[in-house]
Amino acid sequence: MKKKNILAAVAVTAAALVAITGCSSGAGAAGPSNGDKADLTIGVFNGWPEGEAASYLWKSILEKKGYSVKLKYADAGPVFAGVSTGDYDLALDGWLPTTHASYLKQYGDKIDDLGAWNSDAKLTVAVNKDAPIDSLDQLAKNAGKFNNKLVGIEPGAGLTKAVTDKVIPGYGLGKMKFVTSSTPAMLSELKAATSKGENIAVTLWRPQWAYDAFPIKDLKDPKGTLGSAESIHSLGSTSFSKDFPKLNGWVKGFKLDSKRLFSLENKMYNGTVEVKDYTPIVKKWIAANQAYVDGLTK
């Protein structure tokens, strides 16, 4: 009996020490030890991989510091609305000054713009890196070298409309066949052509993991038919700076250049198996980019 009582006492003591250690580490239910609230909700736009990648990156970073982070998916409009009401604390994919200008006009007085973390968001026409041309104004004369074909994405995409309405008439590409189907189909053709060393021209956009996966380059657009580059902004609720004073500073200082973003997206999305939770993939990417990641929270 006495031996059993001693063992029970040891077990209770050990459990207490584990609990104390967990609390002192700043992890788990105790939350962060920096004055921020523990629970954070990030709104993620459906179908916008750069915002999802940035959100998973911050989720992984913050959970290690004791935050409880939820990613909530919705279309852009509902996310802007959710940030404005405080249902979402943060969103990381506001394209400004053009793409999401109408949402910012509608909700701007109830949303805090926390600044741009990437300034290279734009629509493009890309070709294989060793293609014999460097500009869209050279494509018509060299169309035969690209099988007189320009490979597009979904017919209803904004990029497709811009190419149809502005790029093709602007650069006299009417004799080229503009093939539209889907983004996966375009990427499949891009992969096949670059692996065979063949010329190919595709409609694309930055940021996109294809820039990390394939040897490609953007064609210059001297007539500005695809518009100028935009910036990707972090957006917080009006109470964000009060609820998360430390994180507010980190997010305002957040920068993720295109090269790193392409590599993160490539790891997340360029696979053959469907992934429902990118956390393990993102953690591996973090380990390979630890110095950069550590600098985000200094």
| pLDDT of 30 over the 80 cut | no
| Percentage of residues in the chain having pLDDT higher than 70 | 90
pLDDT of residue 14: 41
| pLDDT of 90 over the 70 cut | yes
How many helices and strands in the chain, by DSSP H and E?
13, 9
Residues 67-88: tens digit of each pLDDT: 999 999 999 999 999 999 999 9
Residues 64 and 194 in one domain: no
Q: 260 in helix, strand or coil?
A: helix
Assigned token pair, 261: 């973003």
Q: Are strands 201-206 and 111-128 parallel, antiparallel or unpaired?
A: antiparallel
Among 28-32, 185-189, 241-245, the least confident range = 28-32
Residues 52 and 182 in one domain: no
Residues 214 and 248 in one domain: no
pLDDT of residue 31: 83
| pLDDT of 10 over the 60 cut | no
Residues 37-70: tens digit of each pLDDT: 999 999 999 989 999 999 999 999 999 999 999 9
Residue 45 lies in a domain: yes
Q: Which residue, 191, 218, 245, sits at the end of a domain?
A: 218
Residue 22 lies in a domain: no
H/E stretch holding 141:
none
Rounded to the nearest integer, the mean pLDDT of the chain is 91
Q: Which residue, 196, 218, 240, sits at the end of a domain?
A: 218
pLDDT of residue 15: 43
Between CA 143 and CA 93 the distance in angstroms is: 36
Strands (DSSP E) found in the chain: 39-45, 68-74, 90-96, 111-128, 149-151, 177-179, 201-206, 216-218, 230-237
The domain that holds 72 is classified in CATH as 3.40.190.10
In this prediction, residues 161-169 reach a mean pLDDT of 96
pLDDT of residue 230: 96
Residues 175-209: tens digit of each pLDDT: 999 999 999 999 999 999 999 999 999 999 999 99
Residues 259 and 113 in one domain: yes
| pLDDT of 216 over the 60 cut | yes
Residues 105 and 238 in one domain: yes
Chain Cα centroid distance, residue 116: 13
| pLDDT of 112 over the 50 cut | yes
Among 13-27, 73-87, 108-122, the least confident range = 13-27
Residues 87 and 146 in one domain: no
Total domains in the fold of the chain: 2
Q: Which residue, 170, 196, 218, sits at the end of a domain?
A: 218
Residues 140 and 214 in one domain: yes
Q: Are strands 216-218 and 177-179 parallel, antiparallel or unpaired?
A: unpaired
Assigned token pair, 16: 């207490």
Q: Which residue has the tokens 């998973």?
A: 56
The domain that holds 152 is classified in CATH as 3.40.190.100
Domain extent for 156: 122-218
